[in-house]
Each structure stands twice: as C-alpha cells, then as structure tokens.
C-alpha cells in the first residue's frame, strides 16, 4: 500500500463527496486507501460515503472528537507507507498525490511535504510558513479582519512564503493537504490531541524537524481548499478554539513566562473585542451573540491556570448576550 488518505469530516457531506470523487479521478497511479473519520456529523455524511464509495473505510464517532483525535484514529488504522491528511473541503487538481509520494521516495530526509493550495476562485492560498515566534502569538489576537491595521497584523503574524516554482524547505505546511511518512509518525508520535482543532499541523512539523526530518513545500502538486467549512458552522466555537490552542501552544513551546504574558495580553484583547462588538460594530444579532459568547467563553479559558482541550463546547451564557 503506497498511501493512506485520512479525511476527518464534520457536517460537510457534499464537499466530502466531491473531495473523494476528485481523489479517485486523479490518483489511479497509486495503490491507496481512503479512511473517512466522521465526527458525529448530523448531515448523513457517513451514510452517504458508504453508499457512494463502498471501498472507503468509514469510522463513525458518536461525538465530535476534534481533528487531532480523529486524525489519530485514521493514523492507527493506516496500511500505507505514507499518510495524507486531507480536509473534506478540498479537491485534487491533477496527479498531485502521486507526485508527492514520488518526491518523498526520492528524498529520504524529508518527513513531511505540503502542496500548493488554491482558494475556490483559484487564487493562491498561503500554505507554507516559517516557524511561529512568540511575538507572532502575541500579535495574532489583534489580527482582526474588520480593520485595515488588523489585516496588516495578520500578514505580519503569518509571514507566508511567496509563491515559487521549486520545492522549498519551510517551517511548517498547512494540514489541509499534508503528507507524512509512516516512519516519521512512528518516530515523532501521533497528533497532539490537546489541539482540538488548529495548530496540530504546526506542532507536528516542529516535532518532525526536531527529530532531523525536513519539511518541504512542493508546488508541483495542488489542491483547491474551500476553507474552514466545519469551523464556520459555529463562530463562537471557532473563537474559543483560537484562544485555547494559542495558550496551549505558548505553554508547550515558549515556557511559563511567555504563557503568563500571553494570558494577560489575551485578557486585554478579549475585553477590547467585547466592547467593540457590543457597542461599536453594527452586526446582525446572530453574529453579535455568537461573537460575544465566544469572547465570554474564551475569557474563562484564559483565566484558567492550565488550558485544556477536554471540552470544546461553548455554552450559552446570559452574561454574553
């Protein structure tokens, strides 16, 4: 078995079907398997895949375990020499997966490879980045999209590599389409399940590099990534997860002092955002309520001594309305 393609799905049935169809259309050069790990979707995703693609192995979880935990289920079931983490809201363009497998076979020191990622309108979506710095974490909370300065901060924090035609060693690559050797997984371990969603790809790349593997951006392979379809279903959850993963990441890689600084900065950020959304911005009532719920729950997480990912749900709070 050359390749095990692991797709974690959550309420993206139509996109998931399109994703799997594109894999079968363009990946006939490889001996591969597809494993769909469904995180308790309510839209019939698992049943639809079983009906349309009988060769696909489907694991149906009773609850939403998050991307990292569900991805680990797939990694523990894989039979391939290489594993591909593939988002359900992606579509393959050409024989990219075969090229990525060949690249790994030809470059034995490369542990992880990512590809060119395009938006729905075929414009370039940043997918390869340097390793994050502490100041990137500190500034990222101010990178709000509703102001010109916020968008400028977004660019300063992410620092994506400019488009190029040749493979490039990078800090980390996007988990929307990330290929890794089984040997690398065996050495560095599975995904860190404390990242319920977001940053598990960054963490994996850091761990691989620390064990001597290279991480490479490979532009000869490409996918379309429609982007964040699962997370967009719950804005409050998305806000909460952003702060949760940021705090955990700071504690894991930058130490206690950095973690304390980030907690203080996060408190200021969240209170500022709460005031702006509640008193300044004109938003429809549903979006305003979702944002305020997210800020309220995130503030509770920031005030905890140790951030965890045990319960990602964002409860309704009368104080957030």
User: What is the pLDDT at residue 139?
Assistant: 83
pLDDT at residue 280 greater than cutoff 60:
yes
β-strand pairing of 90-93 with 82-86: unpaired
Distance CA 65, CA 60 (A): 11
Taking residues 262-270, report their average pLDDT. Answer: 91
pLDDT at residue 320 greater than cutoff 50:
no
Nearest to 266 by CA among 236, 293, 249, 246: 246
pLDDT at residue 127 greater than cutoff 80:
yes
User: What is the pLDDT at residue 281?
Assistant: 83
| 139 occurs within a structural domain | no
List all residues 6 or more positions away from 292 whose beta carbon is below 8 Å from its beta carbon. Answer: 274, 277, 278, 320, 321
User: Residues 73, 86, 140, 203: is their CA dihedral positive or negative?
Assistant: positive
β-strand pairing of 82-86 with 177-181: antiparallel
Are 311 and 196 within 8 A, CB to CB?
no
- The structure tokens listed for 274 are 């709460």
Residue 282 or 99, more confident: 99
pLDDT at residue 120 greater than cutoff 60:
yes
Do 83 and 219 reside in the same domain of the chain?
A: yes
User: What is the pLDDT at residue 312?
Assistant: 47
Percentage of residues in the chain with pLDDT exceeding 70? 90
Q: What is the largest CA-CA distance in the chain?
A: 58
- Ranges 10-14, 85-89, 281-285: which has the least confidence: 281-285
pLDDT digits (tens, 9 = 90+) for 31-85: 999 999 999 999 999 999 999 999 999 999 999 999 999 999 999 999 999 999 9
Do 219 and 101 reside in the same domain of the chain?
A: yes
Split into its structural domains, the chain has a count of: 2
| 60 occurs within a structural domain | yes
Which of 190, 225, 260 is the endpoint of a domain?
Answer: 225
Mean pLDDT for all residues in the chain: 89
Distance CA 102, CA 180 (A): 12
| 205 occurs within a structural domain | yes
Which of 225, 241, 261 is the endpoint of a domain?
Answer: 225
Taking residues 290-317, report their average pLDDT. Answer: 70
List all residues 6 or more positions away from 181 whose beta carbon is below 8 Å from its beta carbon. Answer: 81, 82, 83, 104, 111, 112, 213
pLDDT at residue 319 greater than cutoff 50:
no
pLDDT at residue 232 greater than cutoff 80:
no
Band the pLDDT of 315: cuts 50, 70, 90.
very low
User: What is the pLDDT at residue 305?
Assistant: 62
Half-sphere exposure of 196 (CA within 13 A, CB side): 25
pLDDT at residue 227 greater than cutoff 80:
no
Band the pLDDT of 218: cuts 50, 70, 90.
very high
User: What is the pLDDT at residue 148?
Assistant: 67
β-strand pairing of 90-93 with 214-225: antiparallel
List all residues 6 or more positions away from 286 whose beta carbon is below 8 Å from its beta carbon. Answer: none
User: What is the pLDDT at residue 310?
Assistant: 44
Are 109 and 184 within 8 A, CB to CB?
no
Residue 57 or 279, more confident: 57
CATH of the domain at 20: 3.90.550.10
Do 189 and 256 reside in the same domain of the chain?
A: no
Taking residues 122-130, report their average pLDDT. Answer: 93
- The structure tokens listed for 71 are 């991805």
Nearest to 53 by CA among 97, 93, 110, 13: 13
The domain in which residue 258 lies consists of: 231-320
3-class secondary-structure state, position 197: coil
One DSSP character per residue, 149-177 reads HHHHHHHHHH-PPPP-SS-EE-SEE-TTE
| 150 occurs within a structural domain | no
Cα dist from 132 to 34, 210, 249, whole Å? 32, 15, 10
Q: What is the DSSP letter of 199?
A: S
3-class secondary-structure state, position 299: helix
Q: Which regions of the chain does DSSP assign to beta strands (E)?
A: 3-9, 32-39, 57-61, 82-86, 90-93, 110-118, 124-125, 128-129, 168-169, 172-173, 177-181, 214-225
pLDDT digits (tens, 9 = 90+) for 153-184: 777 777 888 888 999 999 999 999 999 999 99
Distance CA 268, CA 283 (A): 22
| 236 occurs within a structural domain | yes
pLDDT digits (tens, 9 = 90+) for 109-119: 999 999 999 99
| 45 occurs within a structural domain | yes
Do 216 and 237 reside in the same domain of the chain?
A: no
Are 115 and 177 within 8 A, CB to CB?
yes
Band the pLDDT of 145: cuts 50, 70, 90.
low
């Amino acid at each position: 078995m050359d390749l095990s393609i692991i797709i974690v799905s959550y309420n993206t049935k139509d996109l998931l079907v399109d994703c799997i169809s594109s894999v079968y259309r363009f990946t006939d050069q490889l001996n591969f398997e597809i494993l769909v790990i469904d995180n308790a979707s309510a839209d019939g995703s698992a049943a639809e895949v079983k009906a349309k693609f009988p060769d696909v192995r489907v694991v149906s979880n009773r609850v939403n375990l998050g991307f990292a935990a569900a991805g680990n289920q797939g990694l523990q079931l894989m039979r391939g020499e290489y594993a591909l983490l593939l988002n359900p809201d992606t579509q393959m363009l050409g024989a990219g997966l075969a090229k990525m497998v060949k690249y790994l076979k030809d470059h034995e020191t490369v542990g992880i490879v990512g590809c060119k990622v395009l938006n729905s309108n075929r414009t370039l979506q940043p997918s390869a980045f340097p390793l994050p710095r502490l100041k990137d974490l500190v500034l990222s909370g101010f990178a709000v999209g509703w102001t010109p300065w916020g968008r400028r901060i977004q660019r300063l924090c992410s620092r994506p590599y400019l488009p190029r035609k040749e493979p490039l060693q990078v800090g980390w690559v996007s988990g929307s389409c990330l290929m890794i050797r089984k040997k690398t997984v065996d050495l560095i371990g599975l995904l860190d399940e404390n990242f319920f969603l977001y940053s598990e790809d960054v963490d994996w790349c850091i761990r691989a590099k620390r064990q001597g593997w290279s991480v490479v951006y490979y532009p000869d392979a490409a996918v379309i990534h429609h982007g964040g379809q699962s997370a967009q279903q719950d804005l409050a959850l998305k806000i909460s997860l952003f702060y949760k993963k940021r705090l955990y990441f700071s504690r894991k890689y930058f130490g206690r002092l950095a973690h304390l600084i980030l907690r203080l900065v996060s408190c200021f950020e969240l209170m500022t955002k709460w005031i702006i959304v509640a008193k300044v911005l004109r938003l429809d009532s549903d979006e305003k309520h979702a944002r305020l719920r997210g800020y309220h729950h995130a503030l509770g997480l920031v005030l905890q001594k140790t951030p965890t990912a045990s319960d990602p749900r964002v409860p309704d709070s009368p104080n957030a309305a």
